[in-house]
Amino acid sequence: MVKTRVWLGSALSAMLLLSACSNNNGGSAGEQTAPEETAANGSNESAPEGLKPAKLKIVLYGEESNRMKELSKAEFNDIIKKEINAEVEFQFLPWTEYGGGKTDLMLSTGEDFATYTDTNYMVKSVAKGLYADLTPYMDGAAAADTKNTVDEASFKAFQLGGKQYAVPVGNKPNSAEFYSVLARQDLLEEVGMSAITSLAELEQFYDKVHEKHPDLVGYAATDARRLLMYEYTDKNLYWLNDFLAVDEAAKDDQIISWFESEEFKAYAEIMRGWYSKGIIPKYAATNSPQLQSDWNSGKAMFWAGTAARPFEGAAAITQAVPTAKLTNYFLSKDLPNISRGTYSTAWFVSANAADPERYVMFFNLLQKNQELYDLFAYGLKDTDYTIDENGRLTRNTTDELIPDWLLMNKNFMRFDKSVPDDFIAQYKSWDDGAIISKAAGFNFDNTPVKNEETKMNGVFSEFLAPIASGFLDYESNFPKALEKLKTAGLDKYIAEYQKQFSEWYKANQP
């Protein structure tokens, strides 16, 4: 059976947030009480007695809105001080500084702050001693609400050596990330098609739309290994990084060398056909960032989908093309969706922070209850947003506060009142039948093969990525690329990865 998720219509203006379901404390999303009056479990207790004042710095990425500036100095400041007796400074940095740049500089110079991380950045930073160990604060009151609303697998994803180095935030359907085709349904219907169930139909979709709109881009990316997986292999592949994968259908700990596999050869041939045909535009070889702009401005036919992508950045498309509709399709096969966990991201605390526990308490506020979630995500009721009798949200301002994507928790999320009920049902059921990856929670220590990894990354960028994206022909270019990859230390790297993964896999079997 082909799984289809229909997501976004022209009515989804701005951000489509978030659900009217009941929260974990039993309160209805439609029943609102001011955050100054209500906290977890129905009462807002003052900051614990004896808790000394603290100053925290929270780094967020992107541009700070005017409304965020106002609330962070007023209502945000008041409620944080009352809840945990802390003053929080919100500092915004450009996205170019995430996972490096100024973030690295702030860590290396010993600044006291917290921001979000991914597992790869965490491993590298922990190896340098730049993240605080948050393990001592995980089983007490500081993280109690977060642990109630974020799944255990998400916590394990940010552990190293049994220690917690980042606190996951968010609780949303994350399975099958980038394994679906996020298609412009309005274009599909315009050319007389209703659905896409195979590679052949996807290419037919491109042909028909290209004939009618030759100015539109086909695929607005250069990596389609996940969404095309159902066409070139019977395995249920999950990628650990650019070089390695596992087969989730196999009950073993075997690591797959992606570039040496027959699957990569089959995939590269499809991508070469796409590039030659124009599905991937020729300019992508030298200007791939333009693809993102083309998608956001409604100039592309399809993209790689996720359960949440219609929420994340969808506003740009409907602003450019008001009649746009988006639909997620899975091609050809119906293998179980693979999940890494339900988190949005995770917060780390810098190693030199004076009060790591207070940071954990702040993270906890973001996932504590409906009222606080509403405040941080949407602002003040009846000023920044309103809620109707069905718990549906109407935003009175488009200014972003603490980013919606970061907070997204299915226990508290609200949807705009224009979103049909079946959209909400589909979103909530996205993870039904999903399996947690056999590698979820494993974090590779690259120290023994750091030099090899650096060299391999160079070979990947120069020789393998162009083949994987279809820019270069596989038969003519792959033998040389593989030779360079081997010279860079691929075999040693795989052996070390397999050793660590096998040890971890054995230790974590039930």
Has residue 415 got a pLDDT over 80? yes
Q: How far apart are CA 393 and CA 379, in angstroms?
A: 12
Domain boundaries, the chain: 49-171+346-412, 447-507
Cβ-contact 169, 146 below 8 angstroms? yes
Confidence of residue 16 (pLDDT cuts 50, 70, 90): very low
pLDDT, position 312:
61
Q: Which residues contact 470 (CB under 8 A, 6 or more apart)?
A: 222, 268, 270, 271, 272, 273, 274, 275, 276, 280
Q: How far apart are CA 37 and CA 138, in angstroms?
A: 27
Has residue 23 got a pLDDT over 70? no
pLDDT, position 373:
95
Q: List, in sequence order, every beta strand (DSSP E) within 77-134.
A: 86-93, 114-117
pLDDT, position 3:
42
pLDDT, tens only, 307-340: 877 666 566 788 889 888 888 999 998 899 999 8
Across 197-207, average pLDDT: 98
Instruction: Provide the β-strand partners of residue 345.
Output: 169
Instruction: Measure Cα distances from 67 to 78, 85, 259, 384, 492 in Å.
Output: 16, 23, 48, 9, 52
Share the mean pLDDT of the chain: 88
CA angle 29, 33, 39 (to 5 degrees): 90
Amino acid at position 96, single letter: T
Instruction: Provide the β-strand partners of residue 18.
Output: 414
Q: How far apart are CA 367 and CA 408, in angstroms?
A: 9
pLDDT, position 85:
96
Mind spelling out the 3-state secondary structure of 123-172? HHHHHCCCECCCHHHCCCHHHHHHHHHCCHHHHHCCEECCEECCEEECEC
Has residue 235 got a pLDDT over 50? yes
pLDDT, position 36:
38
Instruction: Determine which of 271-280, 379-388, 411-420 has the lowest per-residue pLDDT on average.
Output: 411-420
Instruction: Determine which of 32-46, 139-153, 222-236 has the lowest per-residue pLDDT on average.
Output: 32-46
Quick one: tokens of 19? 């659900």
pLDDT above 70 coverage of the chain, percent:
89
Confidence of residue 508 (pLDDT cuts 50, 70, 90): confident
pLDDT, position 44:
42
pLDDT, position 30:
32
Query: 5 or 184, which is more confident?
Result: 184
Class of the CATH-defined domain 49-171+346-412: alpha beta
Q: How far apart are CA 79 and CA 366, in angstroms?
A: 12
Confidence of residue 19 (pLDDT cuts 50, 70, 90): very low
Has residue 72 got a pLDDT over 90? yes
Has residue 4 got a pLDDT over 50? no
pLDDT above 90 coverage of the chain, percent:
70
Across 415-443, average pLDDT: 84
Confidence of residue 188 (pLDDT cuts 50, 70, 90): very high
Across 444-471, average pLDDT: 95
CA angle 477, 482, 488 (to 5 degrees): 130
Has residue 256 got a pLDDT over 80? yes
Nearest to 16 by CA among 415, 372, 287: 415
Instruction: Measure Cα distances from 22 to 114, 412, 438 in Å.
Output: 30, 7, 31
pLDDT, position 311:
62
pLDDT, position 116:
95
Q: List, in sequence order, every beta strand (DSSP E) within 209-330.
A: 217-219, 237-239, 244-247, 256-257, 300-305, 326-329
Q: How far apart are CA 431 and CA 473, in angstroms?
A: 37
Across 248-273, average pLDDT: 97
Instruction: Determine which of 23-37, 76-90, 134-148, 349-363 has the lowest per-residue pLDDT on average.
Output: 23-37
Cβ-contact 301, 183 below 8 angstroms? yes
Nearest to 240 by CA among 174, 338, 150: 338
Has residue 418 got a pLDDT over 90? no
Nearest to 172 by CA among 363, 347, 408, 372: 408
Confidence of residue 10 (pLDDT cuts 50, 70, 90): very low
Q: Which residues contact 354 (CB under 8 A, 6 or more apart)?
A: 54, 112
Confidence of residue 441 (pLDDT cuts 50, 70, 90): confident
Q: Residue 378: helix, strand or coil by DSSP? A: helix
